[in-house]
Amino acid sequence: QQQVKQSPQSLIVQKGGISIINCAYENTAFDYFPWYQQFPGKGPALLIAIRPDVSEKKEGRFTISFNKSAKQFSLHIMDSQPGDSATYFCAASIPGSTGNQFYFGTGTSLTVIP
Amino acid sequence: NAGVMQNPRHLVRRRGQEARLRCSPMKGHSHVYWYRQLPEEGLKFMVYLQKENIIDESGMPKERFSAEFPKEGPSILRIQQVVRGDSAAYFCASSPISHGDTEAFFGQGTRLTVV
């Protein structure tokens, strides 16, 4: 059972365009939602994260939009660059629980073409 | 400050052998997490450890898999009698506190191939 559903599986965007990746969840106990970026052969690295008390968070060209009522959140990459080509994972966790684990989406392979 | 160090980066084992994966957390981090990544899939939680304690192993297969994080030395993920289905990338992450509240830093992973 996939706790966090991510789409699309792959995405091709022109340089300068906007990349949008969507995630949805069911467990209302989740209250921390990070996005990780992973390059081939590397480990995932935290890109940006949000808590559900805000609807949007922006860091440079990266923005998370969060819709608590719909239980959805998305990553927007503005002015996409070839260097952004990577696999992106959304995740969710329940801080403070003994689980302390992240539930990851299945990933989106982003290719930004020049 | 070195990041999370995993070794080996690549490991090839024949079916039935043991695989031993090592993870040295970042300096000052006492929380370690192991995740498994299968091709075309996201990372799946396996186990969460603090020094000398297994806190949550709910994602760990019941047989053949074990993990430890001793007082001294790296965390070890051990897979006994490996099978082809164990072929995957295994990532370790560490955090200074339980990572539900803060960033977890991932290592570069160990890619296990069972032949």
The closest CB to that of B99, out of A43, A100, A107, belongs to A100
**Alpha-carbon distance A54 to A20, whole Å?**
19
A47 to chain B: closest CA residue: B103
- A94 close contact with B: CB closer than 8 A: yes
| pLDDT single digits (tens) A48-71 | 999 888 999 999 999 999 999 999
List CB contacts (< 8 A) between B26 and chain A: none
| pLDDT single digits (tens) B13-67 | 999 999 999 999 999 888 899 999 987 778 999 999 998 899 889 899 999 999 9
Q: Which pLDDT belongs to residue B103? A: 75
A46 to chain B: closest CA residue: B103
Instruction: State the smallest CA–CA distance between residue B110 and chain A in angstroms.
Output: 10
- A51 close contact with B: CB closer than 8 A: no
List CB contacts (< 8 A) between B56 and chain A: 98-101
**Alpha-carbon distance B78 to B47, whole Å?**
12
Instruction: Tell whether the model's pLDDT for residue B108 goes beyond 90.
Output: yes
Mean pLDDT of A103-114: 94
Residue pairs spanning A and B at CB distance below 8 A: 77
Q: Which pLDDT belongs to residue A102? A: 85
